[in-house]
């Protein structure tokens, strides 16, 4: 071949290499897929960094197989021009490595765009916790591993069916594992559950995931270079990479599938008219919770379950009302969260076992009548219309006094028609000793607002 012909062929190779930049059009598509996946994993209106990082890692379960398929397709297509690359003085591994670098850069660009979206969304709200750079690294390294697996699969078996095989293998690996089931679920791409409030990601697990992905990706690339160049010197770095992979797997196995652990939290509180305390990521809920809980606290004043503080606790603690504190759960700020909290408090006021075994079928109807008043809801229609008419016709002060006298029967679902007779609504006479024993604490809705008290 003449010198001019060689220059022409070299120019063709360079033009073909330049055409590979067209793969960058896949970046917007991968970004869209990753953003939607991450967004669906976030709690509504909750800006908790640990959960944001877990959502970002979970995007790789969808983004990874898509990137692997793209890499496999590119490898099968580019394998056809290897005879042109052989005309140059480059190593037979140079072209494939350049392809792999381009595909990796495209996938990481999409992952970076998804990361920016999640970070901005978290910063725009009342964020709590702290971001984990290792979490971003764990997701990125898992994505790189998918690209390497898909591309090398297409290089070793350059057949269109390879793309389908890569898609099936990566999707099965991602989907056939449930969050928290075993330590296998932590192998990249990790199947992480939503990180609940009052817990946090374990940084050691994130580091081990990164080591596993990078070690395995490096071993695959080095093994391919050794196979393409027919050089055995890569055996040592391949062994080192596999040792890193094994160390990461051993660490993940010792974690028993638990990616999160309880984390200490300083609650965010609003002090007036009730003291309401929630996780800092939910501090925007304080005004709505305070406004919703104050009427209920006022109606329960003077009963054994009177409370002046509402406090969010971890899911392990059941909702209850004791010693003036109403313990609640609040997972997110989806519509109706304040109503759900009031329901939790109201359910804690009664003895569930006694209500479930009550022999009187009417007891549930009488309880629902009182429940509706406590929650400020529309009165229900019950069979005993006379009792409903009387109770709904009493003044607010009369109903509160009635509840203080009959709370024990209400708690055990033992209310009957006799509790709603006119005589049951008359105020009781108290001796001087009884009056002295009564709590002097005013009801929350009539307490004077102190000067300079914060509004939220």
Decide if pLDDT at 424 tops 70: no
The string of DSSP letters for 35-70 reads HHHHHHHSPTT--BHHHHHHHHHHTHHHHHHHHHHH
The answer, yes or no, to whether residue 431 has pLDDT greater than 70, is: no
Q: Tokens standing for 40?
A: 């669906």
With 90 as the cut, is the pLDDT of residue 28 above it? no
Decide if pLDDT at 102 tops 80: yes
- At 390-415, the pLDDT tens digits run 999 999 999 999 999 999 999 999 99
pLDDT given for residue 231 in this prediction: 78
In this predicted model, what pLDDT tens digit does every residue of 137-172 receive, in sequence order?
999 999 999 999 999 999 888 888 999 999 999 999
pLDDT higher than 90, residue 275? yes
pLDDT band for 433, please (50, 70, 90 cuts). very low
Cβ(27)–Cβ(109) below 8 Å = yes
Query: What confidence score (pLDDT) does residue 158 get?
Result: 87
pLDDT at 442 over 50: no
Q: Output the pLDDT for position 451.
A: 43
> pLDDT, tens digit, for every residue of 383-394?
999 999 999 999
CA distances from 41 to 51, 65, 187, 192, 432 (A): 8, 18, 19, 10, 60
106 touches 26 (CB < 8 A): yes
Tokens standing for residue 279: 């996780």
pTM score: 0.78
3-state secondary structure of 139: helix
Tokens read off for 259: 């990616």
Strands 275-278 and 268-270: antiparallel
C-beta separation of 45 from 58 below 8 A: no
- pLDDT, residue 410, reads 93
Asked whether the beta carbons of 334 and 44 are under 8 A apart, the reply is yes
Tokens for 427, please give them. 């105020």
pLDDT 10s digits, 214-273: 999 999 999 999 888 887 778 899 999 999 999 999 999 988 888 889 888 999 999 988
Instruction: Give the integer Cα–Cα distance in Å for 256 and 371.
Output: 44
Residue whose pair of structure tokens reads 């969010």 in the numeric block: 312
Q: What is the mean pLDDT of residues 83-111?
A: 74
Mean pLDDT of 337-352: 93
Report the chain's mean pLDDT, rounded to a whole number.
84
The CA distance from 339 to 336, in Å, is 5
Of the chain, the end-to-end C-alpha distance in Å amounts to 83
DSSP, collapsed to helix, strand or coil, labels residue 362 as coil
Q: Give per-residue pLDDT as tens, 48-77.
A: 999 999 999 999 999 999 999 989 988 887
Q: Are 231 and 258 in contact (CB under 8 A)?
A: no
- Measured CA to CA in angstroms, residue 307 lies from 208, 323, 387, 448, 454 at distances of 46, 7, 28, 17, 20
Query: Given a cut of 60, is residue 207 above it in pLDDT?
Result: yes
Contacts of 72 (CB under 8 A, 6+ apart): 150, 151, 153, 154, 162, 163, 166, 167
Please tell me the predicted confidence (pLDDT) of residue 35. 86
Element of type H or E holding 331: none
**Inter-residue contact 258 to 190 (CB < 8 Å):** no
Q: Say how far apart CA 268 and CA 312 lie, in whole Å.
A: 10
Asked if pLDDT for residue 21 goes beyond 60, the answer is no
Please count the helices (runs of H) and the strands (runs of E) in the chain: 17, 7
pLDDT: which is higher, 358 or 141: 141
Phi and psi, residue 320, nearest 5°: -160, 170
Q: Which of 26-35, 117-126, 167-176, 374-383 has the lowest mean pLDDT?
A: 26-35
d(CA 229, CA 419): 92
- Residue 90: its pLDDT value, please? 55
Three-state DSSP state, 448: coil
Q: What's the pLDDT at 301?
A: 93
Question: Where do the structural domains in the chain lie, given as residue ranges?
Answer: 3-261, 266-349, 351-425
Q: What average pLDDT does the segment 95-103 reach?
A: 85
Tokens 């991968």 — which residue? Answer: 30
Residue 364 neighbours by CB distance under 10 Å: 16
Q: What angle do CA 404, 410, 415 make, to 5 degrees?
A: 115
Q: What is the mean pLDDT of residues 354-377?
A: 89
């Amino acid at each position: 071949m003449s010198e001019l012909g060689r220059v022409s062929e070299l120019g063709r190779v360079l033009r073909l290499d330049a055409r590979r930049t067209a793969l960058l059009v896949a970046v917007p598509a991968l970004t869209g897929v990753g953003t939607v996946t991450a967004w669906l994993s976030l709690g509504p209106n909750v800006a908790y960094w640990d959960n944001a990082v877990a959502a970002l890692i979970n995007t790789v379960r969808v983004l990874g197989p898509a990137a692997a398929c793209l890499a496999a397709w590119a490898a099968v297509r580019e394998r056809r021009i290897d005879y042109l690359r052989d005309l140059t003085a480059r190593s037979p591994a140079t072209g494939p490595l350049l392809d792999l670098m381009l595909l990796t850069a495209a996938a990481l660009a999409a992952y970076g765009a998804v990361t920016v979206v999640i970070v901005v969304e978290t910063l725009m709200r009342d964020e709590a916790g702290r971001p984990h750079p290792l979490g971003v690294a764990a997701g990125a390294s898992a994505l790189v591993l998918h690209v390497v697996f898909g591309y090398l699969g297409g290089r070793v078996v350059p057949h269109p069916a390879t793309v389908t095989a890569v898609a099936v293998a990566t999707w099965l690996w991602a989907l056939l594992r449930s969050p928290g089931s075993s330590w296998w679920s932590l192998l990249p791409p990790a199947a992480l559950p939503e990180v609940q409030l009052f817990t946090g990601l374990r940084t050691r697990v994130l580091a081990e995931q990164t080591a596993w992905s990078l070690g395995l990706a490096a071993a695959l690339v080095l093994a391919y270079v050794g196979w393409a160049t027919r050089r055995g010197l890569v055996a040592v770095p391949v062994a080192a990479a596999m040792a890193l992979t094994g160390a990461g797997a051993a660490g993940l196995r010792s974690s028993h599938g638990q990616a999160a652990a309880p984390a200490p939290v300083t609650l965010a509180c609003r002090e007036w008219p009730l003291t309401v305390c929630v996780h800092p990521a939910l501090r925007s809920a304080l005004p709505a919770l305070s406004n919703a809980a104050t009427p209920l606290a006022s109606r329960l004043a003077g009963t054994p379950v009177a409370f002046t503080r509402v406090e969010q606790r971890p899911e392990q603690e059941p909702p209850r009302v004791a010693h003036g504190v109403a313990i609640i759960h609040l997972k997110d700020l989806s519509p109706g969260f304040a109503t759900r909290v009031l329901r939790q408090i109201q359910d804690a006021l009664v003895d569930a076992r006694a209500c479930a075994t009550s022999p009187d079928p009417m007891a549930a109807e009488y309880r629902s009548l009182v429940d509706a008043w406590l929650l400020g809801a529309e009165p229900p229609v019950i069979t005993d219309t006379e009792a409903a008419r009387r109770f709904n016709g009493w003044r607010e002060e009369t109903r509160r006094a009635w509840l203080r006298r009959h709370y024990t029967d209400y708690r055990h679902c033992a209310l009957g028609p006799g509790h709603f007779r006119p005589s049951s609504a008359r105020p009781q006479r108290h001796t001087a000793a009884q009056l002295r024993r009564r709590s002097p604490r005013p009801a929350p809705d009539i307490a004077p607002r102190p000067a300079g008290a914060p509004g939220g």
